[in-house]
Amino acid sequence: MPNLDVIKKTTPIHTPENNISDPTMGGRITMARTARGFSQAQLATRLGVMAKTLKNWETDRSEPRGNKFVTIAGLLGVPVMWLMTGEDSASDSIAGNPVETLNLATKMDKLLSLHQQSSALILELQGEVSRLQDDIDMGEMEQAI
């Protein structure tokens, strides 16, 4: 797990207090993604797009559709207006706590991993129980003969 204090202190995130911005929409996506500790592949997966699509957005070769801006902003914890234009909007200040958002995303990833592991274990146990039951059934049939 990344050191959240290092991300918080060393990675610039746009807030009204620090007024850090990037001149392009792609640059702002890259900056916020990096600050959150997401790789391009991780963010693309969370957005439901191909990594190549995200790369094109970040390099300003293309832009996301309008409905994706809200999703991107929510995942990255930045205001939608800032993401689109580089400027703040007073009505768009519900960005959330970036450290809390990263903590929740990390917990969600861990929970998903545990869920996948437990599902695999359940299937393995079902197979073993089925095999043992078949052995018992065969043993009973042999004794009956």
3-state class (DSSP) for residue 42: helix
Phi-psi region of 50 (alpha: psi -120 to 50; beta: other; left: phi over 0): beta
* Residue 45 burial (C-beta neighbours within 10 Å; 0-12, 13-18, 19+): middle
Q: How many CA atoms lie within 13 A of 39 on its CB side?
A: 7
User: How much is the pLDDT for 15?
Assistant: 42
Tokens 């861990």 correspond to 110
User: How much is the pLDDT for 70?
Assistant: 86
> Residue 133 has which token pair?
């039951």
User: How much is the pLDDT for 18?
Assistant: 43
Q: Which one, of 89, 84, 92, 88, lies nearest residue 25 by Cα?
A: 84
Angle between helix 40-47 and 66-76 (nearest 10): 120
The pLDDT tens digits along the chain (145 residues) read 333 343 333 344 444 344 445 578 999 999 999 988 899 999 999 999 999 999 999 999 999 988 788 889 888 988 888 888 887 654 444 445 666 666 777 787 788 888 989 999 999 999 999 999 999 998 888 887 7
Tokens 């073993």 correspond to 128
Contact between 106 and 98 under an 8 Å Cβ cutoff? The reply is no
User: How much is the pLDDT for 134?
Assistant: 92
> Residue 9 has which token pair?
């202190």
